[in-house]
Amino acid sequence: MSQDERHQRLEAATKRRDTLQRQVDRAEIRLEAARKDLSKVVEECKKKKISPAQLPEAITKLQGRFDTEMGGLEERISEAERSLAPFVEDNT
């Protein structure tokens, strides 16, 4: 193998190493941001007196409550529409 070929291999390996280092740096930045976000979520959970481990359970409970309340709201809207129908129908 010639010296030129060795030099090219060294340059290619150096570029690959540098690329990997940049990827590691970006991954570390994302990891730190994720840790900060997690910390914020844990603090919010504590403020609301919800254990972070019970968060999925709390979300399910809130979704059920939302669905129930939304069903009631939609029913009341439908009733109001039926009540108003005779007064807003086009009589042409």
Q: What is the DSSP letter of 49?
A: T
Q: Which residues contact 41 (CB under 8 A, 6 or more apart)?
A: 52, 55
The whole-angstrom separation of Cα 52 and Cα 17 is: 39
pLDDT in tens, 1-46: 899 999 999 999 999 999 999 999 999 999 999 999 999 999 998 8
**For residues 44 and 55, is the Cβ–Cβ distance under 8 A?**
no
**For residues 28 and 20, is the Cβ–Cβ distance under 8 A?**
no
Is pTM beyond 0.75? Reply is no
pLDDT value for 27: 97
The whole-angstrom separation of Cα 13 and Cα 21 is: 12
Residue matched to tokens 């609301």 = 48
What are the sequence ranges of the domains in the chain?
1-49, 50-92
Mean pLDDT of 39-65: 91
